Structure 1
């Protein structure tokens, strides 16, 4: 069995795969070594890949490296099943690469746009021949709510809960509608323009806010909240001897 660790900005995900079938996925808000140790004791893990967008993870890496026979730390030097056309590959987010790889194996041979709606919203384009050409990064929903509150004198901190009218008739509704509808218009704009440039483009939507967007978008999309995890599992096979 394979263990996939995806260390994000706010959570850490642990997934267990039996070959390419996802067996278990658990998310932790904070690092808890005894709890994770107990989780690992229930599986016969042969190989592991660790991916992190966090700045400091040495302690976590050592924890897994010392417990799993075949361990791979995902980096810009890792072998990949796709080609990277990004001008600065060493600065390219590992989660962005993994998401594109996951989508590539789901629908090979077609152009793909992966939209990851999490702390940030990323837009990443993979061409039909397997070339990752790049993408864009924008603020996520929660970040937009917090920015309006933090960088103004009187605007309140607003949450997802509540009405989302076309035009708000009070300040809370105005902020909620402005942020969520604005982000949806942004996503639809990328989809429209890239579909025009790349006919047959398939859209994969993932991330913590994926379903919030999915229920509001008019374009046909594939929603897969595990596409990054699936991509990491595929990358693992490229980098360890099984």
Structure 2
């Protein structure tokens, strides 16, 4: 079985694929200070509830935009699952060209989304990922990654609005029924929600105009279903896009060997 780890700025998602289907996925708040043993104790209990033992996992793949978390996640794979993880980076075999000035600067999540989206939906397309940042990533008909757009995420914008204006409260995100708010909180919710819908539609139109041909738009990330309610621009919503990109990347690249000086895993009764 394959252990998939998607480490974002806000959350880390752990998932297991048995070669046919996903057996489970679990989410944990991202913390660079959390040790491999803390991850291991937590994850082992969840795997047991899913009927999975550590010995059944023989491969691992990690995608992270948080470099400080990589050391402990790699140790988790080595010490708890006896597997040296494949780490997603631009130098691997992606099966497509990365047509940007500095490929190593592109976040692994953006390349993983491009890989999975083109595999599932074909191109050309744009992936809109509602994460800590809201990203737009463009893939041509052959699957090549062409670059994209990075804008502040919804929750970052809400927090910035609250911190920068003393009289504005911290609000939750939701779809307002009316655009014109008749008090402060509804007005703020309208500005965030419909403002982001306008950003989505405006950027998709400009990207398509610059590309010069129609583009499919694939939404992913936790807030994708909410914002898809406010626009008809999306071809599909796929919440597992990054995880499946990691799975596909692991199929294209061999697993690295474990360090030679490391003792092998021994399962006891």
TM-score in terms of structure 1 length: 0.92
| In 2, Cα distance between equivalents of 1:169 and 1:5 | 44
Is the contact between residue 20 and residue 233 of structure 1 (CA under 8 Å) also seen in structure 2? no
Which residue in 1 is equivalent to 2:150? 137
SS at match of 2:67: coil
CA-CA distance at 1:170 after TM superposition: 0.9
- Structure 1 position 115 matched with structure 2 position 117: no
1:153 shift after superposition: 2.7
Based on CA coordinates, which of the two structures has the bigger radius of gyration?
2
Secondary structure in 1 matching 2:134: strand
Matches within 5 A, 1:41-60: 42-43=52-53, 44-57=56-69, 58-60=71-73
1:105 paired residue number: 119
Instruction: Name whichever of 141-150 and 32-41 sits farther off.
Output: 32-41
What does 1:1-242 correspond to in 2, within 5 Å?
1-19=1-19, 21-29=21-29, 32-33=38-39, 34-40=41-47, 42-43=52-53, 44-57=56-69, 58-66=71-79, 67-108=81-122, 110-161=123-174, 163-196=176-209, 197-240=211-254
Count of residue pairs the alignment pairs up: 241
Give the match's secondary structure for 1:192: helix
Residue 125 (structure 1) shift:
0.1
1:2 to partner: Cα distance:
1.1
TM-score, normalised with respect to structure 2: 0.83
Provide Cα deviations, 1:212-236, integer angstroms capped at 9, x if missing partner: 1111112242000000100111011
Indicate if the aligned counterparts of 2:139 and 2:145 stay in contact, CA closer than 8 A.
yes
Kept after mapping to 2: 8 A contact 1:48/1:68: no
Question: How much is the aligned-residue C-alpha RMSD, in angstroms?
Answer: 2.0
In structure 2, runs of 5+ residues without a counterpart are: 257-269
16-25 or 123-132, which deviates more? 16-25
- Equivalent residue number for residue 263 of structure 2: none
Residues 72-81 or 182-191, more deviating: 72-81
C-alpha spacing 1:20/1:151, structure 2 compared with 1 (3 Å) = farther
For 1:113, what is the secondary structure of its paired residue? Answer: strand
Which has the higher mean CA deviation after the structures are superposed, 162-171 or 203-212? 162-171
CA contact (8 A) 1:164 1:176 kept: no
| Larger strand percent | 1
Give the Å deviation of 1:161: 4.7
For residue 46 of structure 1, report the CA deviation from its aligned partner: 1.9
